[in-house]
A and B are shown apart, each in its own frame.
Chain A
Amino acid sequence: MSAGEAGPLPDLLIVGGGIVGAAIAWEAVRAGLRVTVVESGPIGGGASAAGMGHLVVMDDSDAQFALTRYSLDCWMELRPLLPEDAEYDPCGTLWIAADEEEMGEVRRKQAYLVARGAAQAVEVLDPAQLREAEPALREGLAGALRVIDDAVVYTPCVVRWLLDEVVRLGGELRTGKVVELHPGGARLADGAWLSAGATVNAAGVWAPRLTPGIPVVPRKGHLAITDRYPGWVGHQLVELGYLKSAHGSTSDSVAFNVQPRRTGQLLIGSSRQFGVETPEVEGEMLGRMLRRAVEYMPGIGDLSVLRVWAGFRPATPDNLPLIGRWPAGEGEDGRAVWLATGHEGLGITTSLGTARLLVDQLLGRPCPIPVEPYWPTRSWHNGEGHG
C-alpha cells in the first residue's frame, strides 16, 4: 500500500469496465461491498461495443444453457430499471432452417427447451409462417424456431448505466491501466498501488496479460450497420447452419445473423476468426459475411451500409466463460484473484448471470445455478462451440 492512500480500502477491485466488469460491480455494490472499477480506455470499449447486444438462450451444452437461461431471467428483471437509450427490445430470435436437416435441429432445439420448462417461449414456424414473419427472407427456407424471450440491447448504454449506478451507490470508477494484478491489489502503469480485499480480472480479451496462462484467446469478428429501414426485419435472425458448419472452433467462418435496432437500422453479421490479432476490417471476410447475408435476404444488398468494423471476443476452448478463483492467484491470507472472462460472443447475455455467480461465490452465498462448469480449475477439452 502506498503512503498517503486515503479512504477505506475497496473490498473488491475490478479490472475492466466492459459489461462483465460493470455487472459485477453493480451486483457487488448492491451486496454492500465497497467497489472500485479500473478501466484503461473508454467504458465498454472492447467486445461490449463491438458486438451486437443479442440476449440469447443457447444450448450447445447444458452449462451454456443454464447460464444463458438464468441470465435472460436477470435481464427481464433488470429491464424496467434500464434507461430508454439501453434500447431493450424483446424482439425474440428466429433460428432459421434452410433445409430439412436443419429442421431436425429446430425440433431438437425445441424439445430441449420445452423439456426445460420453456414451452411457452418457443414456437416452430413452417415456411409460410416464416415468410409471414419475415418477408425479406428468401423463398424456399424450411422453417424456423422462434425463441420469444430473447432480446436485443444497446450495450454501451447499458454499461454506462450500470457504472453510473455503481458510482451513485458509493462505488468508484477510475481510469488507469493495470499492469499487475494480485490477490490484495493492483499496480497501475503510473506505479500507483491500489489495495483491495479481493480482485477480479474482467479484462476480456486482455485478461491473459494480467493472469498469464488462462486459456483465453481473441476471436475476431466483423459487423456492418445499415441506415434506417424501419420494419424491414422484426426478429433477430440467425441461420441454424451457424451451428452445424459455420462455427467450428478452428477455421474461419461466417454465418447469417441480422439484428433489427430500435432506430430501424440493421446490424449484419457475423464472422469468426482465430489467430488474427490485427483490428482492421478485412475485405475478404467482410465480403464473405455480406454475401452470406444476401443468400438469406436477397434485398439486403440494396440497403445502404453506414459503417463496418471488427472486434475481438475472448474465447475459451470449451466455449464457457471462466468464473471463479484463479488457481494461480490464491493469496496465503485467503484473498484471491478472481476471473470473469472468456465469454466469447455471449458476454452481453451472460454478464448478469456471471456477476451473480461471482459475487455469490465471493460472499459464500448459495449460487442460483451450479457454478462448477465455469470454474477456471475445470478440465479442458476442445469443444465444438459457438456463441
Chain B
Amino acid sequence: MGERLSRLHLRIDGEEVWAEAGWTVAALLERLGRSAARRSVLGERRAPLCGMGICFECRVTIDGERHRRGCQVLCREGMEVATDA
C-alpha cells in the first residue's frame, strides 16, 4: 500500500494517469507508450531524444505553459500535461 500512497495523479491530454514521485514528464510519456511529445512546424511527430534538456524535442504544455521540456520537469500531483502529437 505504501507504493500506492506515493502515486501522483496527473492528466495527459485529458486522460487520467498516475506517476511515481521522481519521474520526469518525459519518462512518464515513455512509460505510457506515447512515442511523441510534439509536432514540428511541418507537422511531423517528434519524440524525446537526449533526455537531458539539450535537444528540446520533449517540449509539452504543462499547466498551460507552452514549450516546457518534459525531461526537465518532475511529475507533480494534479499536473495537466498537453502534447500536440
Rounded to whole Å, the gap between the CB of A35 and the closest CB of chain B is: 34
- Does A228 make an interface contact (CB < 8 A)? yes
Query: Is B67 touching A227 in the complex (CB atoms < 8 A)?
Result: yes
Residues of A within 8 A of B65 (CB): 302
- Does A377 make an interface contact (CB < 8 A)? no
Given A227-B67, A228-B67, 11 new contacts (CB under 8 A): A227-B59, A227-B66, A228-B41, A228-B66, A229-B66, A229-B67, A263-B41, A302-B65, A303-B67, A304-B66, A304-B67
Complex: chain A residue closest to B38, CB-CB: A228
Tell me the chain B residues, 16-72 only, with Cβ under 8 Å from chain A.
41, 59, 65-67
Residues of B within 8 A of A304 (CB): 66-67
Cα–Cα, bound, A263→B59 (Å): 16
Rounded to whole Å, the gap between the CB of A226 and the closest CB of chain B is: 9
Tell me the chain A residues, 278-310 only, with Cβ under 8 Å from chain B.
302-304
Cα–Cα, bound, A229→B65 (Å): 10
Rounded to whole Å, the gap between the CB of B82 and the closest CB of chain A is: 13
Rounded to whole Å, the gap between the CB of B39 and the closest CB of chain A is: 10
Residues of B within 8 A of A228 (CB): 41, 66-67
Residues of B within 8 A of A263 (CB): 41
A-B contact pairs, 13 of them (CB 8 A): A227-B59, A227-B66, A227-B67, A228-B41, A228-B66, A228-B67, A229-B66, A229-B67, A263-B41, A302-B65, A303-B67, A304-B66, A304-B67
Rounded to whole Å, the gap between the CB of A263 and the closest CB of chain B is: 5
Complex: chain B residue closest to A228, CB-CB: B41
Complex: chain B residue closest to A226, CB-CB: B67
Chain A 323-339 per-residue mask, 1 if CB under 8 angstroms from chain B, else 0: 00000000000000000
Chain A 221-244 per-residue mask, 1 if CB under 8 angstroms from chain B, else 0: 000000111000000000000000
